[in-house]
Amino acid sequence: MTYRAPVRDMMFVLKNVAELDTLQSIDAFAHADEELVEGLLRECGRFCSEVIAPTNVDGDQQGSVIRGEGEGVTAPDSFHSAYSQYVDAGWGAIQFPEEFGGGNFPLAVATAVKEMITAANMAFSLCPMLTTGAVVDLLAHGNDYLQQTFLPKMVTGEWTGTMNLSEPQAGSDVGALTTKAEPAEDGTYRVSGTKIWITWGDHDLTENICHLVLARLPDAPVGTKGISLFLVPKYLVNDDGSIGERNAVEVVSTEHKLGIHASPTCVMEYDKAIGYMVGEPNQGMRQMFTMMNDARLGVGAQGLSIADRAYQQAVQYSLERRQGKAPGDEELENGQSLIVKHPDVRRMLLTMKSQIEAIRALTYRNAAALDMAHHHADEGVRNRERMMADLLTPLTKAWGTDLGVELTSIAIQIYGGMGYVEETGVAQHFRDARIAPIYEGTNGIQAMDLLGRKLGMDGGAFVKAVLAEIREQAATLDDPAFGSFRQHLEGAVDAVETAMTWLMTNRTDFNASFGGATPFLRMFATMMAGSLLAKGAVAAKSAIDGGDDDQFLVDKLSTARFFAGNILSTVPGLVDSVTFGADDLFAIDDTRLQSV
């Protein structure tokens, strides 16, 4: 089956959780009214369904292939037309300033667009996602020459961008990188070194690729304090903006991966390649984090996208496949029920549906926080929303991608044995989803970031205020329409506070506190997403009370109640995992971990 964009769900979240009306009240987004946004999303949904989604399976089967030494990478055949149409339609420019050819829409709206593109074909979407991150970085840190020379083509997608951090000896420990950047007399730099894991590091979809590369200047300080950021194009650009000579950057090889076969993951070699410094010397990590934080939101949306694509296929299969006799079912054919009638299949589908809606609420709220942090007229609102975005980003990235893997696995289970067969297509989503918890700082790093940096914002006052607000919100959920939501949301807040107190008390025992960081992130994210899902449920009930009998709204309440009783209810059970300590974590000697 092809992909069907859930535009109505997206608009519901944009209006009732991300507060599209508040975003539209900001001068920069005055044009982004509800009617225009919905029309834009419906057109993007059509485009993704008709143009991008058909490239998913054949792109996976054909893959991107390195042609030979010095010859570069060839993308799957179907990608060329699809990417050309993507550029012509302007989808990559949605969130960027008009001065560089952008649409100047809120990031929350652009995130909905990215969700659809990713769901249609995750491997395809990674190319524009990296370009978006590079554009964000150059907008924030690039000088006038870099912005005027490179941004117009990158905003449209005519040129693409990459991020070059890791090296063979420096993965998550970026401070160990050794790539060098020697200053030249003309103000440029000569960049030399090897970079690995470079997504879409080379391809033949565009005439130029703009690499953002972390490297060290001569005599730079050791560690992360001595890293600078450089833009190194595949082809140099002439003064008139035309493509010039080939730069000294080559793709050495591509990785053979579990999934995302159509997305080339490259080993890149720089041999005194001409580069341009981005921003100030030795500030590369700070500048790169501008790109990485944008990418972390985008990666979180990947979990949402792939889970929703797998869910759509699982629902369709459950409405066609007959097996056994479900309790009370009288609509049998050859004595068999549709599997959607079986309680356990229905449980799996609602487990997927409710958490997909929860991830969408969290992701869009995260994006809206960034919009308000950057553009709201009130400084107090900007500061609060900046902290909210900082808090939500590790949650969106880690929880969203963990669930992307878990929910695509459930989709396979719904298919049964046919889910394990490649021809049905659902296995590809599971393979593709597995990289996202590793991308852009592993989820363990996100958990440590939450614990080490985000809980202590504003001396801890901000997070305490957020918890107090959620507790106040829970107290309003007394109506029977919300089922057990109040009970479970209050229980989640209690559990998070208990775990957080223990973590803060034991914060100097890094083995103990970091050992509990990952289950704590799940607790916190589930609570936050539950709060946002409850906000949507309140909006749905208000509309119903106002006379709107749309079944869509009734179903929103059912989904929220399921989430409360089946997902939110698990949060207190994670307290012991957070507070377990490190005694048994490290009780077994390193050398005895391996059984012989």
Active site residues: 440
Alpha-carbon span 349 to 394, nearest angstrom: 26
DSSP assigned state of 595: -
DSSP string computed for 58-97? HHHHH--EEEETTTEEE--HHHHHHHHHHHHHTGGGTTS-
Polymer length in residues for the chain = 596
424-433 burial, b at 16+ Cβ within 10 Å, e below that, comes to bbbbbbbbbb
Query: 126 near 259, Cβ under 8 Å?
Result: no
DSSP string computed for 510-573? HHHHHHTHHHHHHHHHHHHHHHHHHHHHHHHHHHHHTT---HHHHHHHHHHHHHHHHTGGGGGG
Cα dihedral sign, 202-207-212-217 = positive
- Name the packing angle between helices 122-141 and 144-156 (round to 10°): 160
Query: 138 near 278, Cβ under 8 Å?
Result: yes
Supply φ then ψ for residue 67, to 5 degrees: -80, -25
Token readout for 32 is 């982004």
Strands (E), 117-206: 160-164, 180-183, 189-199
- Bridge partners (DSSP) of residue 233 are 210
Amino acid letter at 381?
V
| Residue of 179, 212, 225, 361 lying closest to 292 (CA atoms) | 212
DSSP assigned state of 99: G
Q: Are strands 65-68 and 72-74 parallel, antiparallel or unpaired?
A: antiparallel
- Of all helices (H) and strands (E), which one includes residue 117? helix 107-120
Chain position carrying tokens 């508040």: 22
**Diameter of the chain measured on Cα atoms:** 83
Alpha-carbon span 77 to 485, nearest angstrom: 49
Measured between alpha carbons, how far is residue 148 from residues 139, 172, 237, 275 in Å?
10, 32, 11, 16
Q: 3-state secondary structure string, 193-212?
A: EEEEEEECCCCCCCCCEEEE
Q: What's the alpha-carbon Rg for the chain, to the nearest Å?
A: 24
Measured between alpha carbons, how far is residue 120 from residues 54, 422, 489 in Å?
8, 17, 34
Q: What stretches of 319-420 show up as alpha helix (H) in DSSP?
A: 343-375, 379-415
Measured between alpha carbons, how far is residue 541 from residues 121, 359, 460, 566 in Å?
35, 21, 34, 21
